[in-house]
Each structure stands twice: as C-alpha cells, then as structure tokens.
Structure 1
Amino acid sequence: MYISVQKLRPHAQIPKRATAQSAGYDLYALPEEPLTIQPQEICKVPTGIAVAPSRPDVALCIFPRSGLSTKHGITLINSVGLVDSDYRGELLIPLINHGSEPFTVEAGMRIAQLVVLPILTPELKEVTRLDTTERGAGGFGASGLS
C-alpha cells in the first residue's frame, strides 16, 4: 500500500513519521502568512497537500499533536478528523485554541498527525430485535467501569 501525496503549493511538505515506530505522519501547516488563533477561536489551517491512498478500504484519520494540546491548548475541533479514501481536496486542519493565550501557526509547523486505519463496511441488516446481552441497553457508565 502507498499514499500518493500531491503538493498543491511549492513550499508544502510531504508528511513524515518522526521515528521508525511512529504511528502517525506529521502534517505541516502552510498558511499564506502567520495565522494567529485567539482563545476559543477555530481556524482551518491549510497544509498545501492533497492525498490519495492506493486502496479504497482505508480511512485517513487526522489526530491532534499531544505537545500542542498539553503546552498550548491547541487541538482539533472535531477530536479526530476522518478523510475518506475518495477525497482529493487539500487537507485542511480545523484547529481550536482552548488555551488562554493567542497562538500563532507558522508555515512548516507540525500541527496534526495522519494515521491510516483499515475500514470495514459490513452489510446492514434491519431486524425487529437485537440479541440480549448481560449489559443490555445500559450506557454511560452502566458497565460499572470508570
């Protein structure tokens, strides 16, 4: 398997894994000029790249970077971004500033991680009843585990 990466602008950076065992590929910001995100503000940060996996049975998931979130309160507004295998537009990263200070995103800054995950698409079958389980319909802490 491979992922085709198209640079949409000359200074875009190809995603890279930081170490041999890194699960994710770092995604790099490419705003036209430094972009300041005010506290509680949401901004879509361009990466300057479009991607295409070689297989249709995968999804590209965008995860926040732990350093940005723990040091500055910068994370993804949707927790995890889901990029379908047939999307061909630019990867835009929706960041939110949960911190108390403005945060400036500059070109070349690592802002998120791209992780490839397999996708199962089972047939959905309508039924009149589901099988019973010990847990049943109990949710939101009903299993007794914290």
Structure 2
Amino acid sequence: MTPAQAPVGVLIKRVDPDVPLPEYAHPGDAGADLRTTESRVLEPGERAVLPTGVCIALPEGYAAFVHPRSGLAARCGVALVNAPGTVDAGYRGEIKVIVVNLDPRESVRFERFDRIAQLVVQQVEKVRFQEVAELPDSARAAGGFGSTGGHSAVGGTTGGNRYASVVSDREGQ
C-alpha cells in the first residue's frame, strides 16, 4: 500500500458569498460537488448555463474537469453538453455548467444550491508535438469508432471488427 498523497492546494473565491464550497460527499470520491446559485426550470430538450458561484486558481500543471452527476442523469435525464468541461490553470472566471434536459416529456427544476456537477482536479502533462511523415505501427492501427464491436448493432456481442469491414466494403463502392 502506498501512503496517501497530500491534497493539492487550490485557491477558491466565492462569487456568491452564501454558496457552499465544493466538497467530496464520501471518502475516496474523485469529484467534489458543484452547486448552482440560480433556480431554474429546464423544459424537455432545453439547455442552460448555470453559475456555480465559485472561481478557482489551479496550480500550473493541473486542470479541473467538470463531470456530470450520475444521479441527475439516471433520474432526470440531465446531461452536460460539453462533458467534461475543462477549467484550465490560467482561468480565473466563475465556473459555469452547461446542462441539458434530455427527458422527452418532463421538465427539471433546479433550486439554488442544488448539486449539479462534479469537479475533478487532475495533473496534466504538457507535450511537444513532433510532425512526422509516418506514425509507427500499433496493434489497433487506425481502428476507431466501433472497431472492437461489442454491440448488436455492429456485429453482435462477441467483439470482432465487423464495423470496420462494413466501412471498408462501402468505401470500395
């Protein structure tokens, strides 16, 4: 077992003085709950940008990612339009969450200080892109969308690469 790492220090400023700070609901949670400062009703298919009432200053080399809450998705059909949303280390504005009501019939009501998303802070690497004429081979190669099968619409649940062969067959027509 490895010793627990010390928490990363993140400076936070409340835009709304009454909003609870993001917090982890359970030990071991990856995401800290973000709350909205605004009451709002979303009709079926409607989206909105909800304020969270907080701004953060991340250390260089870190980013925060705004993830959906699984309970809102399962119970209400609420999703995040750009999930996960990215908060860069240099951003100092209020964190806002773009929510959408995907339920075809029911509206969703958000009350002030309802939990609407999770904030996950992660260390991120800077890369240096190096242009080359060819990339090295790999086992996957260019296999992308649906390349492993696994769904009845793309050739059963046994895996395989039926989708890629269908695309290849179509390309030749």
Task: Sort the Cα spacing of 1:144 and 1:70 in 2 relative to 1 into closer, same or farther, 3 A.
Answer: closer
Structure 1 unaligned residues grouped into runs of 5+: none
Larger proportion of helix: 2
Give me the whole-angstrom Cα distance separating, in 1, the residues matched to 2:149 and 2:62: 34
**Kept after mapping to 2: 8 A contact 1:13/1:28:** yes
Give me the whole-angstrom Cα distance separating, in 1, the residues matched to 2:83 and 2:16: 27
Instruction: Specify the alignment match of 1:62 in structure 2.
Output: 66
Larger proportion of strand: 1
Confirm or deny that 1:94 pairs with 2:98: yes
Instruction: Specify the alignment match of 2:147 in structure 1.
Output: 142
SS state at 1:124 partner: coil
Q: Over the residues paired in the alignment, what is the CA RMSD in angstroms?
A: 1.3
Structure 2 unaligned residues grouped into runs of 5+: 1-7, 151-158, 160-173
Q: Which residue of the other structure, out of 100, 103, 122, is the alignment partner of 2:108?
A: 103
Residue 139 of structure 1 deviates from its aligned partner by 2.0
Larger radius of gyration: 2
TM-score by length of 1: 0.92
Runs of 4+ in 1 over 6 A off after TM superposition: none
Residue 120 of structure 1 deviates from its aligned partner by 1.0
Give me the whole-angstrom Cα distance separating, in 1, the residues matched to 2:99 and 2:27: 27
Give me the whole-angstrom Cα distance separating, in 1, the residues matched to 2:139 and 2:78: 40
SS state at 2:132 partner: coil
TM-score by length of 2: 0.78
What percentage of aligned pairs have identical amino acids?
A: 34
Give me the whole-angstrom Cα distance separating, in 2, the residues matched to 1:51 and 1:60: 9
